Amino acid sequence: MRIATWNVNSIGARLDRLKGWLAAAQPDVLCLQELKCATEAFPADQVAELGYETAAYGLGRWNGVAVLSRVGITDVRRGIDGDPGYEDAEEARAIGATCGGVRVWSVYVPNGREPGHAHYQYKLHWLEALHGTVLVETGGAPQRPFAVLGDFNIAPTDDDVWDISRFAESTHVTEPERKALAVLRDSGLTDVVPRPLKYDHPYTYWDYRALAFPKNRGMRIDLVYGNQPFAGAVSDAYVDREERKGKGASDHAPVVVDLDL
């Protein structure tokens, strides 16, 4: 089984790219983030032509997540328990579904803006709620392959950014954010680190500006956190950096995981 995650930075702007990538990469399950569309506006008919069912969750112009599957899609959950919301409003940042016997969550963790900002506190609280959801979902079915995939907006180690000295006073690399990832790992999840197709670091995001991609000034912030039944079945994992190339690319590349399931 092939499972992937991809922050598309607008499904509307990326639809042609998405369809081309689905046809080429042939994932069985694809977790999407940053749809930037409402649930009912997701182009489900377009991906259905390629054999995929859709479970989407979007509330408007920001955020938005989905799961596409060609191996069935059941038990869909929109949002996580205890979601703190931002400024009294819940955002569309998580959707769970069971596909071909694997339980997956597609997540778009809040950015945080800057340390000390209200959005940064929101990010940490949101991650606490995600942890709670993981405990409930994995505790009830410990033998079922389970994974949280998506844009975590956190680089797990200094090695996961192109130059740590450029990230002083920045989000994505702070100790509290990394601690939140450690808490997820302590609850039984493993960071499934993909291999890069070029260069030494499996970056998944490169800024659009300042030639970041050609210079490989990237970050590994799109992560796959799987339980033992999931991580133990992984046969390969890679970042499809080819999808970051050319006109009309997202600023994130897909992360692809192959499983012996």
- Under the binding rule (CB under 7 A), the answer on residue 12 touching DNA is yes
Tell me which of 108, 122, 205, 225 is the catalytic residue.
Answer: 108
Among 127, 221, 237, 255, binds DNA (CB under 7 A): 221
Among 211, 232, 235, 236, binds DNA (CB under 7 A): 211
One character per residue 19-58, x = contact with DNA (rule: CB under 7 A): ---------------x-x----------------------
Q: Are 181 and 156 in contact (CB under 8 A)?
A: yes
Give the residue with the Cβ less far from DNA, 249 or 257.
Answer: 249
- Under the binding rule (CB under 7 A), the answer on residue 245 touching DNA is yes
Give the residue with the Cβ less far from DNA, 216 or 228.
Answer: 216
- Under the binding rule (CB under 7 A), the answer on residue 195 touching DNA is no
Residues in the chain: 261
Q: Are 206 and 246 in contact (CB under 8 A)?
A: no
Tokens of 38: 């409402």
Q: Residue 12 and residue 248: Cα distance in Å, rounded?
A: 11
* Annotation marks residue 151 as catalytic: yes
- Under the binding rule (CB under 7 A), the answer on residue 113 touching DNA is yes
Q: Residue 220 and residue 72: Cα distance in Å, rounded?
A: 29
Tell me which of 52, 83, 120, 151 is the catalytic residue.
Answer: 151
Short-list 200, 28, 160, 153, CA closest to 98: 28
Residues 6 or more apart in contact with residue 219 via CB below 8 angstroms: 155, 160, 161, 162, 172, 203, 204, 205, 206
Least distance CB 259 / DNA (angstroms): 26
Short-list 167, 175, 74, 87, CA closest to 124: 175
Among 151, 177, 240, 243, binds DNA (CB under 7 A): 151
Q: Are 240 and 258 in contact (CB under 8 A)?
A: no
The count of other CB atoms within 10 Å of the CB of residue 130 is 26
9 is in an annotated binding site: no
- Under the binding rule (CB under 7 A), the answer on residue 111 touching DNA is yes
34 is in an annotated binding site: yes
Distances (CA, A) of 115 to 38, 89, 182: 29, 21, 19
Which residues of this chain interact with DNA, rule CB under 7 A? 7, 9-10, 12-13, 34, 36, 60-62, 110-111, 113, 119, 151, 153, 171-172, 198, 205, 207-211, 213-214, 216, 219, 221, 245-246, 248-249, 251-252
What residues are labeled active site?
A: 108, 151, 252
